[in-house]
Amino acid sequence: MSRSFHVPEAKVLKALRASRHGPMKPKALARVLEIRPGDYKPFRAQLRDMEGRGVVYRVKGGRYAAPDRISLVRGRVSTIRSGDAFIRADEITHEDVFVRSGDLATAMDGDRVVVRVEHHPRGRNPVGRVIKVLERAHPTLVGTFHSGRKIGYIVPLDRKMGPDVLIPWGDEGDAEEGDVVVIAITSYGARRRGPTGEVKRVLGPMGDPGVDVLSVLFGHGLSLEFPPAVESAAKEAAEQPVAAGDDREDCRDLMLFTIDPVDAKDHDDALSIRDLGSGMYEVGIHIADVSHYVPRGGPVDAEALDRGTSVYLVDRTVPMLPHALSSGACSLRPDEDRYAFSLFARLGLDGEVHEHRFVRTVVRSRHKLAYETAQEVLDGPGSVDPETDAAIRDLDRVARGLRARRQERGSIDFDQPEARVVLDDDGAPIDIQRVARLDAHRLVEDFMLLANELVARTGEAKRMPVLYRVHERPSVEKTESLREFLATLGHTLPRRSLRPRDLQSVLEGVRGEPEEALVSTVVLRSMQRARYAPENLGHFGLALSHYAHFTSPIRRYPDLVTHRAMVRVLLEKKAAPQEWSEELTEVAERCSWREQAATQAERDSVALKKIEFMERHLGDEFDGTVAGVASFGFFVLLDRYFVEGLVHVNALEDDYYEFREREFALVGSRRGRRFRLGDRVRVQVARVDKEERHVDFVLLQAVPRGASG
DSSP 19-66: -TTSSB-HHHHHHHTT--GGGHHHHHHHHHHHHHTTSSEEEGGGEEE-
> Exposed (0-12), middle (13-18) or buried (19+): which is 264, by Cβ within 10 Å?
middle
Show the 3-state SS of 488-519: HCCCCCCCCCCCHHHHHHHHHHCCCCCCHHHH
* pLDDT at residue 212 in the model: 87
Closest CA to 341 of 328, 330, 326, 353: 330
**164 to 145, 216, 681: CA distances (angstroms):** 10, 18, 37
- Which residues have a Cβ under 8 Å from the Cβ of 468 and sit 6 or more positions away? 456, 459, 532, 533, 534, 535, 536, 537, 546, 547, 548
Mark the ranges of the chain whose per-residue pLDDT is less than 50: 1-3, 706-709
- Which residues have a Cβ under 8 Å from the Cβ of 416 and sit 6 or more positions away? 520, 524
Are 267 and 260 within 8 A, CB to CB?
yes
What class has domain 618-703? mainly beta
* pLDDT at residue 191 in the model: 63
- What does the DSSP assignment read for 192-239? TB--EEEEEEEEEETTSTTHHHHHHHHHTT--SSPPHHHHHHHHHHHT
Where do the CATH 1.10.10 domains begin and end in the chain? 9-68
E-state strands within 299-413: 311-312, 317-318, 337-348, 353-364, 367-370
Q: How far apart are CA 42 and CA 30, in angstroms?
A: 11
Q: Is 54 left (phi over 0), alpha (psi -120 to 50) or beta?
A: left
Q: How far apart are CA 693 and CA 179, in angstroms?
A: 16
> Exposed (0-12), middle (13-18) or buried (19+): which is 392, by Cβ within 10 Å?
buried
* pLDDT at residue 339 in the model: 97
* pLDDT at residue 4 in the model: 58
CATH code for the part of the protein at 9-68: 1.10.10
Q: How far apart are CA 48 and CA 646, in angstroms?
A: 50
Amino acid at site 83: G
* Beta strands 621-630; 674-676: pairing state: unpaired
Closest CA to 197 of 221, 164, 161, 149: 164
Q: How far apart are CA 57 and CA 47, in angstroms?
A: 9
Are 542 and 598 within 8 A, CB to CB?
no
Are 594 and 308 within 8 A, CB to CB?
yes
Tell me how long the chain is. 709
Q: Dihedral of the CA atoms 348, 351, 355, 357 (nearest 10)?
A: 120
**22 to 15, 16, 67: CA distances (angstroms):** 11, 8, 12
Closest CA to 351 of 403, 305, 299, 300: 403
Closest CA to 220 of 693, 605, 554: 605
Where do the CATH 2.40.50.700 domains begin and end in the chain? 140-205
* Paired residues of 309 in beta bridges: 556
E-state strands within 208-328: 249-250, 256-260, 269-277, 280-288, 311-312, 317-318
E-state strands within 52-126: 57-59, 63-65, 72-79, 85-89, 97-99, 112-119
E-state strands within 550-643: 621-630, 633-638
For 54-71, how does the pLDDT look when each residue is reduced to its tens digit (9 = 90+)? 888 888 888 999 888 888
Q: How far apart are CA 196 and CA 174, in angstroms?
A: 17
Closest CA to 678 of 489, 481, 524, 514: 514
- For the entire predicted model, the pTM comes to 0.84
Q: How far apart are CA 709 and CA 699, in angstroms?
A: 14
* pLDDT at residue 703 in the model: 67
**172 to 179, 184, 200, 308, 415: CA distances (angstroms):** 11, 11, 8, 32, 48
* Paired residues of 155 in beta bridges: 144
> Exposed (0-12), middle (13-18) or buried (19+): which is 280, by Cβ within 10 Å?
middle
Are 533 and 539 within 8 A, CB to CB?
no
Q: How many CB atoms lie within 10 A of CB 63?
A: 18
Q: How far apart are CA 182 and CA 167, in angstroms?
A: 12
Percent helix, strand and coil across the chain, each to the nearest 5 = 35, 30, 35
For 563, the 3-state DSSP assignment is helix
Domain 71-135 annotated CATH 3.90.180.10: no
* pLDDT at residue 9 in the model: 84
DSSP 85: E
Q: Is 385 left (phi over 0), alpha (psi -120 to 50) or beta?
A: beta
For 466-475, how does the pLDDT look when each residue is reduced to its tens digit (9 = 90+)? 999 999 998 8
Q: Is 541 left (phi over 0), alpha (psi -120 to 50) or beta?
A: alpha
Q: Is 127 left (phi over 0), alpha (psi -120 to 50) or beta?
A: beta
* Domain range 140-205, its CATH number among 2.40.50.700, 1.10.30.50, 3.20.20.70, 1.10.3720.10: 2.40.50.700
DSSP 617: G
- What does the DSSP assignment read for 127-158? EEEEEEEEE-S-SEEEEEEEE-SS-EEEEESS
Distance of CA 24 to the CA centre of its chain: 39
| CA-CA-CA-CA torsion sign (378, 382, 383, 384) | negative
Q: How far apart are CA 428 and CA 423, in angstroms?
A: 5
Are 46 and 63 within 8 A, CB to CB?
no
Where do the CATH 2.40.50.140 domains begin and end in the chain? 71-135, 618-703
